[in-house]
Amino acid sequence: MSAARTDGPSRVLVLNSGSSSVKYQLLDMADRSRLATGLVERIGERSARHVHTPADGEPRERERPVADHAEALEAAADELAADGLGLDSPELLAVGHRVVHGGRRFSEPTVVDDSVLAAIERLSPLAPLHNPANLEGIRTARALNPRLPQVAVFDTAFHTTLPEHAARYAIDVATADAHRVRRYGFHGTSHAYVSRRTAALLGRAPDEVNVIVLHLGNGASAAAVAGGRCVDTSMGMTPLEGLVMGTRSGDVDPAVVFHLARNGGMALDDIDRLLNQRSGLAGLCGDNDMREILARRDAGDERARLAFDVYIHRLRRYIGAYYAVLGRVDALVFTAGVGENAAPVRAAAVAGLGSLGLAIDEGLNSARTRGPRLISPEYARVAVAVVPTDEELEIATQTFALVGS
Ligand SMILES: Nc1ncnc2c1ncn2[C@@H]1O[C@H](COP(=O)(O)OP(=O)(O)O)[C@@H](O)[C@H]1O
Ligand SMILES: CC(=O)OP(=O)(O)O
Ligand SMILES: [Mg+2]
């Protein structure tokens, strides 16, 4: 990616609009410094929380209703303006947006115009929790300053290299193609950044190493990355397939849907909500936060233990699968909220896998070190690592590379 360039504006505002939250960061790409970060969560609920943190000041926190993503972004723009960093500031180069679904059309970061907006909108049915929020972020940022370039960076882009045998579902080809039914994969910005950063941690070039990346946040996915190219990933046509997540089921037999509709008296929308919002860890034990689950499990709570065990079993299944897909694995990497912070999850994920060359040094695993680090013992054949993801920095880097002077 581009080196620092000092001529012309170099600041990029990054927006990561989720289903009920907006995370934002203002970065100066001349030195990759962060000028401000913020989070608006519980959008659309009775009261939202907005935390805005300037680089050189105390966090400012407000609780009040925020109706939608447009209002959240306006509130973020107000906070930035209060520090002289508003969207009309001449130092601001562009806004970079995380867009979750880019279908097959978008394999690169893209400057948004009306045709790109329309294409993102056409993909909304394939990512109903995410794309509409991403669109609202783009439209609002554009309205706040129509002259600023808006750049979309797609979660799916890194996965457009999936070989056809990994991207295809084994269903009738004509039907699948008519309805764009195939595996697209998500969290690609994170998988790309983390796999590259892991190669650097190993002191090797990205095209030399095979890596399994486990992105374990609220949404969770695994990726098999061979020499810098993604060859398999656990999310599919939508971000519902694969690993057990905070509120999403991950893999289920599709016949569960027929059964619940035909015999369970449930409408399709109810089943959709069940699998996306009332399943996963939350469905199994009532909590979607791994911190709570670990605390409850340690206190002897059986439902929390079951939730943990189902989560780990699925994770181990994917580790084994991607081991076979890659043939040779140089590193297994944990990232995102759970992956970076939950040592018991990492320990359980690789326990007893010594015959695959996978082992963890418990001292390194439980150390409270920050930043990219190895947690495998020196003798292990496969490096096990924790590499914090930074989707915002990656989006800013790609945005700057596209529109920087
Ligand atoms: N110290 C911790 N131990 C265990 N889990 C943690 C810890 N800190 C954060 N998490 C988990 O990380 C999740 C959020 O991860 P994050 O990557 O921020 O998700 P997202 O970007 O999808 O919102 C929380 O739901 C929580 O379960
Ligand atoms: C694609 C996806 O699942 O994103 P998130 O983890 O932010 O919900
Ligand atoms: Mg995330």
> Model confidence over 84-131: pLDDT tens digits?
999 999 999 999 999 999 999 999 999 999 999 999 999 999 998 899
- 387 contacts 198 by C-beta, under 8 angstroms: yes
CA of 235 to the centre of ligand 2 (A): 10
Residue-wise pLDDT tens digits, 360-369: 999 999 999 9
How far is it, in rounded angstroms, from Cα 260 to Cα 252?
13
User: Domains (ranges, CATH) in the chain?
Assistant: 11-154 (3.30.420.40), 204-386 (3.30.420.40)
Collapsing DSSP to helix, strand or coil, 395 comes out as helix
Q: What global pTM score does this model have?
A: 0.95
pLDDT at 7: 75
pLDDT at 6: 53
CA of 14 to the centre of ligand 3 (A): 14
How far is it, in rounded angstroms, from Cα 394 to Cα 35?
16
Residue-wise pLDDT tens digits, 239-271: 999 999 999 999 999 999 999 999 999 999 999
Count of CB atoms situated within 10 Å of the CB of 312: 17
What residue numbers does the annotated binding site for Mg(2+) cover?
16, 391
How far is it, in rounded angstroms, from Cα 103 to Cα 101?
6
How far is it, in rounded angstroms, from Cα 18 to Cα 25?
14
Query: In this structure, what token pair is assigned to residue 247?
Result: 């509120």
**Residue of the nearest CA to atom 6 in ligand 1?**
338
Residue-wise pLDDT tens digits, 190-217: 999 999 999 999 999 999 999 999 999 9
Which residue matches tokens 């896998």? 353
The complex's ipTM works out to 0.98
Closest among 152, 82, 157 to 113, alpha carbons compared: 152
- 275 contacts 252 by C-beta, under 8 angstroms: yes
Is residue 1 scored above 70 in pLDDT? no
Measured from the CB, is residue 290 less than 6 Å from ligand 1?
A: yes
CA of 235 to the centre of ligand 3 (A): 14
Measured from the CB, is residue 186 less than 6 Å from ligand 2?
A: yes
Q: Strand 60-64 to strand 48-54: parallel, antiparallel, or no bridges (unpaired)?
A: antiparallel
Integer-rounded Cα radius of gyration of the chain: 21
Measured from the CA of 220, which atom of ligand 2 is nearest? 6
Per-residue pLDDT band at 328 (split at 50, 70, 90): very high
Candidate of 20, 98, 130, 237 to mutate for ligand 2, largest count of ligand atoms within 8 Å of Cβ: 130
Measured from the CB, is residue 219 less than 6 Å from ligand 1?
A: yes
pLDDT at 313: 98
How far is it, in rounded angstroms, from Cα 230 to Cα 240?
19
Is residue 343 scored above 90 in pLDDT? yes
Give the chain's mean pLDDT.
95
pLDDT at 18: 81
Q: Is 155 a catalytic residue?
A: yes
Give the pLDDT mean for 290-318: 98
Q: Strand 48-54 to strand 220-226: parallel, antiparallel, or no bridges (unpaired)?
A: unpaired
CA of 346 to the centre of ligand 3 (A): 18
Per-residue pLDDT band at 4 (split at 50, 70, 90): very low
- 29 contacts 404 by C-beta, under 8 angstroms: yes
Which residue matches tokens 């914090």? 388
